[in-house]
Structure 1
Amino acid sequence: MPPRAAIHNGIITVVILFFMLLLAMLLKARYRLHKEPVKAIPVAEAVAAPKAVPVAVPLEGTDQVHQARAYKQGEWWVLPEPKLVPGRANEADTLRIRSGPREDVFVLYFIDAADLIASRPKRFREQSAFFQNASTDAMLAAGADAMTFVSNLLSKHRFKVYTKWERVPDTERYYGFVTVDLEDGKHFDLGELLVRKGYAAPLGQQTSGLPAPLPKSDQYAAQLGKAMAVARSEHAGAWAKAE
Structure 2
Amino acid sequence: MRTHQLVLSWIEDQLSAGRLAVGGRLPAERTLAEQLKVSRTSVREAIRILEAMGVVRAGVGSGPESGTVVISDPTSALGSALRLHVATQHLPVADIVETRVLLESWAAAKAPRDAPELADAAALLEAMDVPEGLSVRDFLALDVRFHLALANAAGNTVVSAMMGSLREAIQGYAAELTANLPDWETTASRLRTEHHAILAAVRNGDGGRAAELVAAHIGGFYKEAGLGSDATEPARP
Return the structure number with greater helix share: 2
Return the structure number with greater strand share: 1
Considering the TM-score relative to the shorter chain, is it more than 0.5? no
**TM value normalised by structure 2:** 0.30
Structure with bigger gyration radius? 1
